[in-house]
């Protein structure tokens, strides 16, 4: 796992400039300073010289209140407070509402090499946007070998050994009208509070490798509607050469695959000659949509079979029958019941 422990101020300027609308008033060579926390800080009492709780590795945001305060007091008093404030080796300051910085602030920022930024956004709006962006830039990240697709709005991460057919299945899904997010290398990250999002690396974005054909540009072949830049990962689909006893026949076992400490539901699809893997993957997405709505077909069927077994054997009443038979016991009886024509 890789974690971006710090972000340079220059990267914050380059990232998502349309949303933050930041401009550099003066940087004095300090744009390489590091931000290590996603939360911003408003100076408040720090402008009066009380700097005990000032965190230099946070972005300092000054709004109308701070600027009016500096302008309302004498320049000597303002300079004294700002001197103690700027000595904290701040990573950067950002003024909101397009405000003009007071002269003492710019002078002391230059003296201490602190970049001064400005945005026309209202303070509350800017804080919300920059906090969200810093959370993304500073969140834990990792690269996973797999293919990420958006099927019916559900993010499916296809995993399996190299050459198992993940890219071919994804290509078939694209032909069915679904969307590719990333092929081969999926960059995953945590978005608060505990969701996992995936995207392609900049080099691989919107491209796919098909053995025997080489690298394909999915956007050029199928249009922009066939791709998307990122997607929340909601199910992991493992394509593997499993034996019959290695997978859940009922689909009631709660299998998970951890990504960056977050458990994602796992579905294992055994590969067999002649199986339409892309159709099965599409059904996984449809079944997940039902689960989002509180409908679990496998568990409903399990309860129905368990009730039938309990009633025919006389071991329990309908009300407590589902608790009397485990999923494995039910699975063992299904084949016999079906062959006898007892289950409709």
Catalytic residues, by residue number, are 145, 166, 184, 249
> Which helix (H) or strand (E) segment is 135 a member of?
helix 123-138
What tokens appear for 210 in the block?
Answer: 């098909």
DSSP-derived secondary structure letter, 196: E
> Please, which residues have CB within 8 angstroms of residue 315's CB and are 6 or more apart in sequence?
309, 324
Residue 271 CA to its chain's centroid (Å) = 29
Q: How many CA atoms lie within 13 A of 307 on its CB side?
A: 10
Strands (E), 32-162: 34-35, 60-62, 93-95, 116-118, 140-151, 154-159
3-state class of 93 per DSSP? strand
Listed in order, strand segments (DSSP E) in 201-343 are 207-210, 214-217, 230-232, 235-240, 256-259, 262-270
DSSP 3-state of 275: coil
Cis preceding linkage at 193, omega within 30: yes
Cα 340 from chain centre: 48
User: CA 32, CA 29: separation in Å to the nearest integer?
Assistant: 7
List alpha helices for 153-276, DSSP H: 166-175, 218-222
Task: Kindly tell me the burial class for residue 203, based on how many C-beta atoms sit within 10 Å of its own C-beta (0-12, 13-18, 19 or more).
Answer: exposed
310 membership: H or E segment, kind and range? helix 297-313
């Amino acid at each position: 796992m890789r974690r971006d422990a710090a972000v340079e101020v220059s990267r914050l300027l380059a990232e998502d400039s349309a949303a933050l609308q930041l401009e550099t008033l003066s940087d004095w060579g300090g744009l390489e300073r590091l931000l290590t926390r996603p939360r911003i800080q408003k100076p408040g009492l720090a402008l009066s010289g009380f700097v005990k709780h000032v965190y230099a590795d946070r972005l300092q945001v000054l709004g109308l209140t701070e600027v009016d305060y500096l302008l309302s007091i004498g320049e000597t008093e303002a300079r004294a407070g700002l001197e103690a404030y700027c000595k904290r080796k701040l990573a950067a300051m950002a003024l909101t509402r397009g405000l003009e910085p007071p002269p003492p602030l710019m002078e002391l920022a230059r003296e201490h090499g602190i970049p001064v930024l400005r945005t026309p956004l209202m303070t509350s709006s800017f804080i919300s946007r920059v906090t969200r962006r810093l959370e993304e830039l500073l969140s834990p990240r990792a690269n996973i070998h797999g293919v990420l697709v958006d099927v019916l709005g559900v993010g499916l991460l296809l995993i399996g050994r190299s050459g198992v057919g993940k890219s071919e299945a994804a290509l078939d899904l694209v032909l069915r009208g679904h969307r590719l997010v990333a092929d081969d290398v999926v960059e995953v990250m945590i978005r608060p509070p505990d969701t996992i999002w995936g995207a392609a690396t900049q080099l691989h974005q919107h491209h796919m490798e098909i053995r025997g054909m080489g690298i394909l540009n999915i956007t050029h072949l199928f249009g922009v509607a066939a791709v998307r830049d990122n997607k929340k990962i909601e199910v992991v689909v493992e394509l593997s050469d499993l034996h019959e006893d290695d997978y859940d026949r009922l689909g009631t076992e709660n299998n998970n695959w951890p990504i960056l400490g977050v458990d994602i539901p796992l579905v294992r699809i055994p590969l067999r000659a002649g199986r339409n893997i892309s159709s099965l993957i599409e059904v996984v997405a449809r079944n997940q949509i039902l689960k989002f709505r509180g409908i679990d077909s496998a568990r409903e069927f399990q309860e129905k079979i368990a009730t039938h077994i309990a009633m025919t054997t006389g071991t329990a009443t309908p009300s407590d029958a589902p608790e009397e038979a485990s999923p494995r016991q039910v699975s063992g009886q299904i084949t016999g019941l079906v062959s006898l024509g007892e289950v409709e």
